[in-house]
Amino acid sequence: MRILLAGFQHETNTFAPSKAHYDNFVRGEGFPAMVRGADVLALRDVNIPAGGFLRAIGELTRELTSNEAELLPVIWAGASPSAHVATDAFERIAGEIVDAARAQRPDAIYLDLHGAMVTDAHDDGEGELLARLRAVVGAGVPIVASLDLHANVTQRMLDNADALVAYRTYPHVDMADTGARAAQLLQRLLAAGNSRPLHRAARRLPFLIPINGQCTFLEPARGIYALLDELERELDGVVSLSFTPGFPAADFAECGGVVWGYGDDAARIEQAVAALTDAVVAREAQWAVPFLTPDEAVQEAMRLSQAASRPVVIADTQDNPGAGGDSNTTGMLRALVRAGATDAAIGLIVDPEAVRAAHAAGVGSDITIALGGQSGVPGDAPFEATFRVAQLSDGRCRFDGPMMNGMDVDVGPAARLTIGGVQVVVSAGKAQMLDRNLYRMAGVEPERMKILVNKSSVHFRADFQPIAEAVLVAKAPGPLLADPADLPWKKLPAGLRLRPLGPAFTGPRGEV
């Protein structure tokens, strides 16, 4: 049993300021760095889908054939969310995967995908890759892929894969578990052969869901995924259910949430998908999100922290590098300084020039710089001030939190700068603030702070919510408009509501 394995992950925000080029995938940027061949197998201990698949598939194939599968690892590549994937990057990575399938003629294929990739040439990057693979291996070779919870699942993806299975948590702490579920699906398909194909059902949501509203620590997402588990477990004939609320910042016709599933019984899987979709739609009003201004968030954090023994965490959601931002806006920093906040920290602010100035000056020096503010977004600008260089760092750490646990990260040279009572972690490269060690690598102990401002939307909750007195969500000026109704859409289908209970898309909108 020869199983080809590859990973190609990118979440594309078509409204973001910068694209993903090949070098971005080489570096990984918060994902594992690009690896090929046998080096892919080293990912088995990382909390990503490929890791879970690698750990599960050996035992499953032994049950099927009395021998372990021969794994044919090709490549694993991921890059931080951004605007479109450049054509060169897509063609080089996708081409490598397709060429390997053509040359090695595997018995099956597993792909670790995101599901929301838009390239310069293809609105549906994963659909394009799956279609190319299907054309090479034919209908008899099962193709199974794992997807992110934010996948914008397309008809082309569903048609060209034998099975797709998605994460069920946001923050994504079940990535390896999802890879293991993909391995179980693949084993089932291989055992059945062409004699008993799985039936599929799928339904699309009539509204976009803001990413801040998709957190599975909170309702309604928590209850919806509990219902998904219940339906999958208790309905005979249902093999697998998935729900992706979607990534509501990719301007193409199939952006948005989808419920789908597979089963031995066509009627039962239709019943399960319909029941889950109806439950999501019935809670439409609950998917909406309240936001604070930067000043409101800081004032509330200062009030709450007065009597607290734990930090108040503020999400700087509109500059989240995990959704396509460049992590360099200064609105929340201005609000902290303006309010005279103390025992406060913010990170990561990406500014290679500021890092170079700090390293050149040395610890204990004062540097006058214009920090960040390169987004070009109205209301954002460089923050000109004198900072004290408190600590220098090589920007390397290993994630110990639930997200990407065990992964080594390198954000390039970094520095901890201070201004008044505010500590600023500045780095040369970007990574979403989803692990406390990104603060610690520059000398900030998160648990000792009164206020933490994280450039993240939801993923930070996995490692920070257990130490947080409260979590607030702020809309500082940034490139990632947290309310999808504020985006200048052009390609959505007419009638799709742009937010829960919001206005329906009627055609191209002017620039915001």
Calculate what percentage of the chain has a pLDDT beyond 90.
88
Average pLDDT over residues 126-154: 97
212-263 tens-digit pLDDT: 999 999 999 999 999 999 999 999 999 999 999 999 999 999 999 999 999 9
Q: What is the pLDDT of residue 62?
A: 63
Question: Looking at the predicted structure, is the pLDDT value of residue 195 above 70?
Answer: no
- Distance, CA of 496 to CA of 393 (rounded, Å): 47
Question: Looking at the predicted structure, is the pLDDT value of residue 511 above 50?
Answer: no
Which phi and psi angles does 343 have, rounded to 5°?
50, 45
- Work out the pLDDT band at 289, boundaries 50, 70, 90: confident
Domains in the chain, please, with CATH? 1-197 (3.40.50.2300), 198-289+483-512 (no CATH), 294-482 (no CATH)
273: tokens are: 């998908």
Q: Report the length, in residues, of the chain.
A: 512
Question: Looking at the predicted structure, is the pLDDT value of residue 65 above 90?
Answer: no
- Tell me which residue has tokens 């920070």: 464
Q: How many CB atoms lie within 10 A of CB 368?
A: 9
Question: Looking at the predicted structure, is the pLDDT value of residue 177 above 70?
Answer: yes
Give strand pairing partners of 21: none
335-375 tens-digit pLDDT: 999 999 999 999 999 999 999 999 999 999 999 999 999 99
User: Counting Cβ atoms within 10 Å, is residue 464 exposed (0-12), middle (13-18) or buried (19+)?
Assistant: buried
User: What is the DSSP pairing of strand 312-316 with strand 451-454?
Assistant: parallel
Calculate what percentage of the chain has a pLDDT beyond 70.
97
DSSP label at 324? T
Q: DSSP for 187-221?
A: HHHHHHGGGSPPEEEEEE-SB---GGGG-TTSTTH
- Work out the pLDDT band at 510, boundaries 50, 70, 90: very low
- Distance, CA of 458 to CA of 316 (rounded, Å): 10
User: What is the DSSP pairing of strand 199-204 with strand 258-263?
Assistant: antiparallel
Question: Looking at the predicted structure, is the pLDDT value of residue 512 above 70?
Answer: no
Q: What is the pLDDT of residue 283?
A: 98
Average pLDDT over residues 451-474: 96
What is the spatial order of strands in the sheet that 143-147 belongs to? 35-36, 70-78, 2-9, 108-113, 143-147, 163-166
Q: DSSP for 375-387?
A: S--TT---EEEEE
User: What is the DSSP pairing of strand 70-78 with strand 2-9?
Assistant: parallel
Q: What is the pLDDT of residue 460?
A: 95
Q: Average pLDDT, whole number, for the chain?
A: 94
Sign for the CA dihedral angle at 313, 317, 320, 325 comes to negative
Q: What is the pLDDT of residue 509?
A: 47
396-423 tens-digit pLDDT: 999 999 988 888 889 999 999 999 999 9
Question: Looking at the predicted structure, is the pLDDT value of residue 66 above 60?
Answer: no
Average pLDDT over residues 42-60: 91
Q: How many CB atoms lie within 10 A of CB 254?
A: 20
- Distance, CA of 96 to CA of 39 (rounded, Å): 15
Q: What is the pLDDT of residue 189?
A: 93
319, 475 in Cβ contact below 8 A?
no
Q: What is the pLDDT of residue 8?
A: 98
* Whole-structure pTM value: 0.88
Q: What is the pLDDT of residue 196?
A: 66
207-221 tens-digit pLDDT: 999 999 999 999 999
Q: What is the pLDDT of residue 61?
A: 64
- Distance, CA of 294 to CA of 338 (rounded, Å): 10
Q: What is the pLDDT of residue 325?
A: 87
* Terminal alpha carbon distance of the chain: 53
C-beta pairs of 224-231 under 8 Å, 24+ apart in sequence: 224/276, 224/279, 224/280, 224/283, 225/168, 225/169, 227/275, 227/276, 227/279, 228/168, 228/276, 229/168, 231/272, 231/275, 231/276
Q: What is the pLDDT of residue 323?
A: 85
**Range of weakest confidence among 89-103, 185-199, 206-220, 370-384:** 185-199
- The candidate with the shortest Cα–Cα distance to 455, out of 348, 350, 302, 375, is 348
Collapsed DSSP state (helix, strand, coil) of residue 332? helix
